[in-house]
Structure 1
Amino acid sequence: MEKKQWVNLGIAFALTLFNFTSATAATTSSSEKISLNSETGAPVFIAGTLTVPSQADPYEIVLSYLREKENLYSIKLEGAQTLDIISETTDELGFTNIKLQHMYNGVPVFGSVLSAHINQSGVLTAISGELTQISKLDQDPAEENAFLQPSSAAAAVTNDLTAKLKKAPDIIQQESPSLVVFVGDGEARLAYSSEVEYLEPEPGNVRYFIDAANGAILASFNQIHQADPVGKDAVSAGTGLLGDKKSIYTVQNAEGSFLLDRTRGKGILTYDAANMLELPGKLWQDADGLFNEAYDAAAVDAHVYAGQTFDYFKKIHGRTSYDGKGARVISTVHYGEKYNNAFWSGSQMVYGDGDGTTFSPLSGSLDVVAHELTHAVTATTAKLIYQGQSGAINESISDVYGALVEGYFDDHPDWLIGEDIYTPKQKGDALRSLADPTTKGQPDHYSKLYLGTEDYGGVHINSGIGNKAAYLLANGGTHYSVAVKGIGLDKTGKILYRTLTQYLTPNTSYRQYQAAAVQAATDLYGASSEEVNSVKAAFSAVGLQ
């Protein structure tokens, strides 16, 4: 199961936020720049010519460098603590990207991931991510008899949810509990990690950490964010929620026309929940092949906008569907009655109809559809944890690509999110503004970072900081007396896409995000380029340098 995110709900979760500083270290190279977490002293991003050219295996190049930096990382990479390869890929620029999972006695440390880049000459150029510090772990994973069975951990999850929801949840998918090292309040514990997805009494997707010794709930946070018909491919006519005429890719046979687009990846499919709470519902079918009825409009928009988002990522970034492998894009409309939300469930998009006052049907906004499908891209790449600063960056990236996808198709993005579906009786209103986050109560500068516990530590609040930086990068402007030269939508999208897919790690902070964006721009355009200068200025304008 992948991470899921809500569009706009705020739910409380306690967390710790960090402040970050930047320092230059004279170690293996005078160009080495190290960004540090000022509280722990641990590096969150290192960039430069970090090693000499080498023909060695990329993993050995990275490991050799990290062993030289054991004092900096405060970790001894032998015995109990190791780094295992999660993935190794080569990108379009010829860089080898290795993602490494921090392990303790063979057990993964939750959220502790590094992303390293080696160029074509075998030179290590960047390491992104922060290793979680573990002073000691009293429990021994080898002593299996000392721990609960996974089934007991799963039962603890169900019992906790039942208590919180006041009734047993209608679970549609539950991840089998797996052992991790979980660090909370400075203490490392062996824990079972499990994710559970449910629809009633309200939709949710909760990540749980259960103490492996006694079954106590250590932490939890909500992340909620049938066979194909046989027939011929066709292009049908439809009408969207705003009355606009659209062409729709469908499959037609003697029974009618189905909202199944087989021209993109493994398919784009749109379903009807018929105001029920079961997913995915029934594949949308129309007898005459004309999708012009009022009830059709939400499905028309969901289907077309999913296709446009697919096209943007494919044409601009070379990414085929959200997973890069052509995954099916499934949408369900008319979910529930007067349901005021949309979310990525981990396997599909879900859209409510709204109550007509706070929201109209939520599939009627291209930026909302693109926002949610970008969460799916994030879930299959950086896997940003949905809390605190990493959660805010997660939300910001989705907002930014919501605006960029919209701009790709109409050339003039308004840099608003949800303006077509939010408060339909109030013209010009929107969920968020990237141009001026303060109009919706969001901070537009790191000095104004929200430090409370609401909304999982402000994932929908502090996203304003990243949103403003992206807006300035694309459009230019002066903010807090810092002048930024805009570089346009295309370059902004390419820099942030590389930042997301190559450099961000699960527990990314805003400081790491800034350093990663600078490095991504350097990779694409060169260290002395105007694009790099604009990235630096845009983040500086929001208090990050």
Structure 2
Amino acid sequence: MKKITTLARVLAFTLAIGMAPAALVHAQNRAGTEVSVKELPKISVSSVMGTFSADFSSANVSADALFTHLGEWLGTGNDHAYKLLKQNKDELGIKHFVYEHYYKGVKVMDDMVLVHEKNGKVTYVNGEIITDINLSPNQQPTLGRIRSIILSDLDAKGKVMISTVEEVISKVNNGRKATIYHTSKVEALSMKPLKAYTYYIDNVSGKVVKKNSRVHDADTPSTSTTYYKGNQSITVDSYNGEFRLKDNARNIHTMNGTNLDVDTVNGGIINVEEYINPVADYTAANTKPAVEVHWGMKNAYDYYIARHNRNSYDGNGAKIDNYYNFDFGGLTGGANAAALDTPLYGGIVCMLYGNGTLLGGLLTLMNPVVGIDVAGHEYSHLIIGRNGLGGLNYEAESGAINESIADMLGTAIEFYSGSSPNWTIGEGIPTASFLDPNPSPYMRSMSDPNNVNSQPQPDTYNGTHWASTANPSDTNDHGGVHTNSGVGNYWFYLLSQGGSGTNDIGNPYNVTGITIEKAEKIIYRALNNYMTPNTTYMDAYNFTMQAVTDLYGATSNEQLQNVRAWYAVGIGNGVLATSEAVRTQNEFNVYPNPVKGGVFTIENNKNDSSAELYDMTGRLIKGAQKLNKGTNKINIQDVKKGVYLLKVSSGSSAVSSKKIIVE
């Protein structure tokens, strides 16, 4: 069934968008004085997907004044409108308003505007917005054709559950810009093998232009668990004179996932089996992994209550389902753990854990993939998906940040438990196999991401071991999400514990740790108040800075250590400044990026412009070069490999910046 949101449902103020020239539009400031929209802060765009931010701390403008002419400030016209999705006031007294973007009455996926106001004054605005849209509605493919397209892509061996269809506008990153499609959005789930996606199918060609995974694979088992380190206190319940792994107070249920399947008629999961024990104490060898899962989830639940005042993953006490002994299929079989999170039939949400074997136990790949880090990691994926801003798309940099935050908070849960916490993830889990004959004693290291035999990770953005984020798919780990998460992990470690050294692009750093308790508050706040679906590492840098400003102040020691920790992983210049260069929206494009062969192209939309190239310390590498309006070839064959900042200045003195990589 086609779902269309009409302009009649959109806030009334949006009807005026674009109806007057920007120069003639005014908004009142807090004192009631008329302020020209041209005088409002410039918009800084940080990615081709339209992620943006603007610092309003010196603007003295109320949220109401900005709302009145939001479209004019964003540069959109009559076909664009903004619908208030939600608003809330947090524990710091900051109001957060979230607006969704519509074009000709159709929702633009992932596009939103986040306005943050304190004491009647806008302090910060960020979000995602694509303004260059020129589409007309097209007839959606038939449900039969859509089903055929999805079944062909899934190649499932069993039942497949498919949702109803929603009409949306989708944006796809093609490397140089975001390509816009009029699409049908559909959810699909298969248990054999486990695959779940949100599909975006072009209404014109019938092609799958994008699919976002609803299964968050971890491969990051726990460190301190009952399977490896003896008995822990858990809660079970009485069941027909025996006992099962169910904690009713926390609403946690751990079950046997050996024969799980989906119910395509009524929805939900079927063929569920209970773990049953004649006494309350589970001590048998074959139930230790399931007990470990149950104990780990208890700690994850308690951590979020204690540290973030969050009751279950949805904040409302939702049931937490765990299934141990699930076969993921394929080459890894039971050597995975995952969070399954789909909106099908009102929501199929659970965590799945493998036993570490392949072919029904004939081949051992690793020890059971269970434990406190696994529970914390998977549970955190469910929370990331419910940040109220659309979650973080599971591909490329946003997917790496998704994985990294799950690692950060999973580690925070381990430290909260007090059960032998440390900064390596999964020690004791790896075992020699034909897939990995010489494994490290752990799966990941947050303190030394490079130091993992089977899957080393980068500790520097675009540094050693960085995986390509181009063309995300199942075959390249959705654009390296499990590999590139090492950058965020190392930032979190340094911010918590401190450290010094020189990173992969030659930048020396020295960070003084502020404690994991403060670091976890920063990343949790950034996630739930500022991160939109296509957040990049540069965005994460900006959003954590804003989170620190909220919590500890813009010029606090916590902020200084935050920017130093990001500098250590190759982001920013490591200097705490009260203001940064202003970058205006949609002024130029750069390609190819990374730059190969010493030549790249700038497509410039302004007259009287020039370009300069800086390294990440702020040192000028290439002096000002005049740009023509249109296409400009830039030769940098004498520039060494590394990450640089390209700044383009226009005649109006506005500056737009982009990070480029030279290979």
User: How many angstroms does 1:424 deviate by?
Assistant: 7.5
Q: 2:22 matched to which residue of 1?
A: none
User: How many angstroms does 1:221 deviate by?
Assistant: 4.1
1:177 aligns with 2:165: yes
In the superposition, relative to structure 1, how do residues 183 and 344 fare at CA in structure 2: closer, same or farther (>3 Å)?
same
Q: Structure 2 CA distance, aligned partners of 1:261 and 1:118?
A: 40
Q: Structure 2 CA distance, aligned partners of 1:205 and 1:254?
A: 35
Q: Structure 1 CA distance, aligned partners of 2:97 and 2:168?
A: 21
Q: Which amino acid aligns with 1:419?
A: E
Q: Structure 2 CA distance, aligned partners of 1:153 and 1:393?
A: 31
User: How many angstroms does 1:286 deviate by?
Assistant: 1.4
State the SS of the aligned residue for 1:102. strand
Q: Structure 2 CA distance, aligned partners of 1:511 and 1:276?
A: 40
State the SS of the aligned residue for 1:343. strand
Residues 323-338 of structure 1 aligned to structure 2 (within 5 Å): 323-336=314-327
State the SS of the aligned residue for 1:84. strand
Please give the per-residue CA displacement for 1:196-226, whole angstroms capped at 9, x wherever unaligned: 11111x101122111123422223343311x
User: How many angstroms does 1:189 deviate by?
Assistant: 1.8
State the SS of the aligned residue for 1:117. strand
In the superposition, relative to structure 1, how do residues 50 and 129 fare at CA in structure 2: closer, same or farther (>3 Å)?
farther
1:203 aligns with 2:194: yes
Q: 2:632 matched to which residue of 1?
A: none
Contact 1:33 1:48 in 2 (8 A): no
Contact 1:277 1:336 in 2 (8 A): no
Q: 1:513 aligns with which of 515, 540, 543?
A: 540
Q: 1:472 aligns with which of 494, 498, 512?
A: 494
Residues 395-406 of structure 1 aligned to structure 2 (within 5 Å): 395-406=403-414
Contact 1:115 1:505 in 2 (8 A): no
Q: 1:16 matched to which residue of 2?
A: none
Percent identity between the aligned chains?
Answer: 29
Q: 2:356 matched to which residue of 1?
A: 354
Q: Which amino acid aligns with 2:132?
A: I
Q: Structure 2 CA distance, aligned partners of 1:352 and 1:219?
A: 28
Residues 347-426 of structure 1 aligned to structure 2 (within 5 Å): 347-355=349-357, 357-363=364-370, 365-381=371-387, 382=389, 383-410=391-418, 413-423=421-431
From the two aligned structures, give the one with the greater helix fraction.
1
1:283 aligns with 2:283: no
1:544 aligns with 2:532: no
Contact 2:257 2:352 in 1 (8 A): no
User: How many angstroms does 1:523 deviate by?
Assistant: 0.3
In the superposition, relative to structure 1, how do residues 47 and 253 fare at CA in structure 2: closer, same or farther (>3 Å)?
same
Q: Which moved more, 1:248-257 or 1:502-511?
A: 248-257
In the superposition, relative to structure 1, how do residues 68 and 479 fare at CA in structure 2: closer, same or farther (>3 Å)?
farther
Q: 2:137 matched to which residue of 1?
A: 140
Contact 2:37 2:72 in 1 (8 A): no
Larger Rg: 2
In the superposition, relative to structure 1, how do residues 36 and 276 fare at CA in structure 2: closer, same or farther (>3 Å)?
closer
Q: Which amino acid aligns with 1:156?
A: I
Please give the per-residue CA displacement for 1:419-447, whole angstroms capped at 9, x wherever unaligned: 24233797962221111111232111124
Please give the per-residue CA displacement for 1:251-283, whole angstroms capped at 9, x wherever unaligned: 21443112111222xx10111124666756223
Q: Structure 2 CA distance, aligned partners of 1:532 and 1:150?
A: 52
State the SS of the aligned residue for 1:312. helix
In the superposition, relative to structure 1, how do residues 518 and 83 fare at CA in structure 2: closer, same or farther (>3 Å)?
same
Q: 2:444 matched to which residue of 1?
A: 432
Aligned length: 481
Q: Structure 1 CA distance, aligned partners of 2:481 and 2:53?
A: 22
1:258 aligns with 2:244: yes
User: How many angstroms does 1:46 deviate by?
Assistant: 2.0
State the SS of the aligned residue for 1:245. coil
Q: Structure 2 CA distance, aligned partners of 1:28 and 1:528?
A: 29
Q: Structure 1 CA distance, aligned partners of 2:58 and 2:401?
A: 27
Q: 2:86 matched to which residue of 1?
A: 87
Q: Structure 2 CA distance, aligned partners of 1:428 and 1:147?
A: 50
Q: Structure 2 CA distance, aligned partners of 1:251 and 1:413?
A: 29
Q: Which amino acid aligns with 1:305?
A: G
User: How many angstroms does 1:49 deviate by?
Assistant: 1.5
Q: 1:124 matched to which residue of 2?
A: 122
RMSD: 2.7
Residues 8-19 of structure 1 aligned to structure 2 (within 5 Å): none
Q: Which amino acid aligns with 1:183?
A: K
Residues 424-463 of structure 1 aligned to structure 2 (within 5 Å): 429-440=441-452, 441-448=456-463, 449-453=466-470, 454-463=476-485
Contact 2:41 2:59 in 1 (8 A): no
Q: Structure 2 CA distance, aligned partners of 1:447 and 1:345?
A: 30
User: How many angstroms does 1:478 deviate by?
Assistant: 1.4
Q: Structure 1 CA distance, aligned partners of 2:417 and 2:234?
A: 16
Please give the per-residue CA displacement for 1:489-518, whole angstroms capped at 9, x wherever unaligned: 100011111011111001111111101001
1:343 aligns with 2:338: yes
In the superposition, relative to structure 1, how do residues 262 and 51 fare at CA in structure 2: closer, same or farther (>3 Å)?
farther
User: How many angstroms does 1:133 deviate by?
Assistant: 4.0
User: How many angstroms does 1:150 deviate by?
Assistant: 4.4
Contact 1:29 1:48 in 2 (8 A): no
Q: Structure 2 CA distance, aligned partners of 1:285 and 1:88?
A: 45
Q: 2:607 matched to which residue of 1?
A: none
Please give the per-residue CA displacement for 1:443-466, whole angstroms capped at 9, x wherever unaligned: 111242433542211111111111
State the SS of the aligned residue for 1:439. coil
In the superposition, relative to structure 1, how do residues 427 and 386 fare at CA in structure 2: closer, same or farther (>3 Å)?
closer
Q: Structure 2 CA distance, aligned partners of 1:130 and 1:498?
A: 18
Q: 1:192 aligns with which of 166, 184, 190?
A: 184
State the SS of the aligned residue for 2:539. helix
State the SS of the aligned residue for 2:233. strand
In the superposition, relative to structure 1, how do residues 387 and 133 fare at CA in structure 2: closer, same or farther (>3 Å)?
farther
User: How many angstroms does 1:248 deviate by?
Assistant: 1.8
Q: 1:37 aligns with which of 46, 52, 63?
A: 46
In the superposition, relative to structure 1, how do residues 361 and 447 fare at CA in structure 2: closer, same or farther (>3 Å)?
closer
In the superposition, relative to structure 1, how do residues 68 and 352 fare at CA in structure 2: closer, same or farther (>3 Å)?
same
Q: 2:304 aligns with which of 306, 309, 313?
A: 313
TM-score by length of 2: 0.68
Contact 1:450 1:461 in 2 (8 A): yes
Q: Structure 2 CA distance, aligned partners of 1:294 and 1:424?
A: 22
Q: Structure 1 CA distance, aligned partners of 2:127 and 2:523?
A: 17
Contact 2:365 2:431 in 1 (8 A): yes
Q: Structure 1 CA distance, aligned partners of 2:187 and 2:179?
A: 22
Contact 1:331 1:349 in 2 (8 A): yes
Q: Which amino acid aligns with 2:226?
A: G
Residues 100-119 of structure 1 aligned to structure 2 (within 5 Å): 100-119=99-118
**Greater relative contact order structure (CA < 8 Å, 6+ sep):** 1
Q: Which amino acid aligns with 2:337?
A: A
Q: 1:487 matched to which residue of 2?
A: 514
Q: Structure 2 CA distance, aligned partners of 1:43 and 1:204?
A: 29
Contact 2:51 2:534 in 1 (8 A): no
